[in-house]
Amino acid sequence: METLAGKNGEYHFRIMQGETWVQPIQWKNADGSPKNLTDYTILWQIRPSANSSTITVTGDYEITNTNQGMFSLILTEEQSSSIPTKGHDYSQLTKYVYDVYLISPQNALTRILNGFIYMSPGVSKDA
């Protein structure tokens, strides 16, 4: 999977319902140097629309290299399975919105990513 790097941006993702999804990201300062993520946390959510009060999923994350500004957005199998889809086959995608905030040690929020999540319905289910 490609690692996203850089400034605030709009990125769109296609996620298969029922899969474990991991998106590596490297965050950089304006001068191109890696952002040190010591004591930072991350908040990211998926919703039906930007103005919806319904949280579809609050995603997980893992900071993988603090000094290099590297972290991954994660949806577990259970989380992606819980996201409703409207399609009757895998090609009929259901559109959601998401955003990602870095939260500094001083609790300052900075939105670094946003965009659309396109969910593809799963076919195989546990019996």
- Per residue in 24-75, pLDDT (tens digit) is 999 988 888 999 999 999 999 999 999 999 999 999 999 999 999 999 999 9
Q: Indicate whether 127 belongs to any domain.
A: no
Two structure tokens written together for 58: 């609050």
Instruction: Return d(Cα 100, Cα 103) in angstroms, integer.
Output: 10
Q: Indicate whether 44 belongs to any domain.
A: yes
- What range does the domain containing 38 cover? 4-120
Q: Indicate whether 64 belongs to any domain.
A: yes
What's the number of domains the chain is made of? 1
Q: What is the CATH number of the domain that holds 81?
A: 2.60.40.10
Per-residue pLDDT tens over the stretch 78-99: 999 999 999 788 789 999 999 9
Q: Indicate whether 125 belongs to any domain.
A: no
Question: What sign does the CA torsion over 102, 103, 105, 107 have?
Answer: positive
The predicted model scores a pTM of 0.88
